[in-house]
Structure 1
Amino acid sequence: MLTLKKLIKYGLIFLGIVALLLLFVAGCFWASTEKRHRQAVEDEEKYSKVCDSVATITEQPEIKFSGFQPKEIRQLRFKILRNGHTIRDTLVKSNFSYISDDSTYCAMKMPYPVFLKTDTIVVTTGGGLHFYLSGYHHIASLHYGMMGYVGSHDCRLADAIVINNEPAPYGTLLKSKGWQHPEKDENNRHQADIIKINTQTGAYSGEKR
């Protein structure tokens, strides 16, 4: 006949076994999560290099404008600079896909369905501000499920580009950052690490100051 002391003893043993099982499951889950995380970091770097081996941009990137009055961007001039030559020069009437309630933030598709990722796109507003867009590239977008990284990916166009020698994480043209005199303004940067754009050729390269 089981005494109270034995019941307590068996109960504690049972609880100990359950606790060990829970710790084992938690440990396995943690180890699996860490392994998936490490694999995701490695794969993102590896697949991003593969994705960025594509020489052309075919996604027709979205360009965003911030701080402008509607009349300043009602008409825009786009140019493609390649190897020292302007190969496309397009004057367009703005067809914005998004306009904020106060009209100070707008977005539209670039008028070029395809260009080289080494090209520089020049956008000139009606107010005479110039924006040199470069650094378009592709990155790997990893697929995740309920348990984390599932081991597959897609290639997509990165949001981050370079505008007037400055990194632009979201590719937004800020009125305050526009150049009125590109030949002068391109040398008036204060970053320690910049991407240097040649406004005549469209070429860009890393540089330290």
Structure 2
Amino acid sequence: MSTPALAEEQVRINPTDPQPTCIMCPGSYIPSAELDRYTEKAIAEKLIDQQVRDIDIGKARVGIGVVHRGKLDKPAPNSVAEHDQISEVYHVISGAATLVLGPDILNRERRPATMRTVREFNGPGNNGSEVRDGIAYEIKAGDVVVIPAGTGHWFTRIDDHIDYLMIRIDPDKVTPLKGEVQSLEYLSKPAPRGE
């Protein structure tokens, strides 16, 4: 009997029950002190989106990111974002903003596959100039936003700043894994720049 089959048999309590989709997978823990270091790094190095972890959970991957956005009086051109395969969940930690959501994105332009955010954070997708008939939400600390893959999301105003925890659901496993060792190494030196 091969080793993977043996490992699978060892976790079966009752063979008629549904079986775990991630056989013998460990849990993951991210201390708040590490997340705080990401926010500090974002402010010090003028970064926005940073990936803390990318974890294999069997049938999918889950990415954990920390995002810091500064004051925004009006949106930058072509700042609507959309991701083809990765859904996102925001949990707002501090600050407030207006976030517009909707699937009808005007003037779509493909993001280059060479961009770091495409390769490492949120996979292939598009930018656009605005969301037609989008719904504007006034989001603040404590709020949660769910953005399915294919849905445009667009910050049109940020009062002073907004910091949020980003959970990325990657069912097609298009982004690379990232563990604690890679996270701490990233935090130990200046962040890579450019696309």
Q: TM-score range by the shorter chain?
A: under 0.3
Which entry has the higher C-alpha Rg, 1 or 2?
1
Report the TM-score when normalising by structure 1.
0.23
